[in-house]
């Protein structure tokens, strides 16, 4: 038996374990029935967004900052990435782009729910 090949088994196992550990965490988590971003702030969806496309740009995006996806991010599970009009990337949950609300001052605030009868809490 060629013993040189035996070292490949632990090396392959370590490589596979490393790949599993590299899967990135979701861009948001659930808190009290709503999705919150990494900063703990509430996320919202916009009724006027088209499937997989943000309709909130310019001044709208100033008031409703998108949850941006870094260039290294990739879709996983219910999370996808949409390309915004300016070419930047935004996270979407179940196809709906998600946003923060500029008037939420602290984690747990939900003052954007129902604004203009078009903004809703992003729910898991």
% of the chain exceeding 70 in pLDDT: 81
pLDDT above 70: residue 72: yes
pLDDT above 60: residue 52: yes
pLDDT band (50, 70, 90) for residue 2: low
DSSP the chain: --GGGGGHHHHHHHHHHHHHHTSPPPS-EEETTEEE-TTS-B-EEETTPBTTB----THHHHHS-B-B--TT---BTTEEEEE-TTS-EEEEETTEE-B--TT--STT--TTTTGGGTEEE---
pLDDT above 80: residue 47: yes
Q: Name the more confident of 22 and 80.
A: 80
């Amino acid at each position: 038996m060629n013993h040189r090949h035996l070292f490949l088994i632990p090396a392959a196992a370590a490589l596979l374990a490393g790949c599993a550990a590299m899967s990135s965490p979701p861009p948001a988590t659930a808190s009290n029935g709503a999705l919150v971003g990494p900063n703990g702030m509430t996320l919202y969806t916009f009724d006027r967004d088209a499937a997989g496309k943000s309709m909130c740009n310019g001044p709208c995006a100033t008031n409703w900052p998108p949850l941006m996806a870094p260039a290294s991010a990739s879709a996983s599970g219910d999370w996808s990435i949409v390309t915004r009009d300016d070419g930047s990337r935004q996270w979407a949950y179940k196809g709906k782009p998600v946003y923060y609300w500029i008037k939420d001052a602290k984690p747990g605030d939900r003052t954007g729910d129902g604004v203009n009868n078009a903004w809703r809490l992003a729910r898991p």
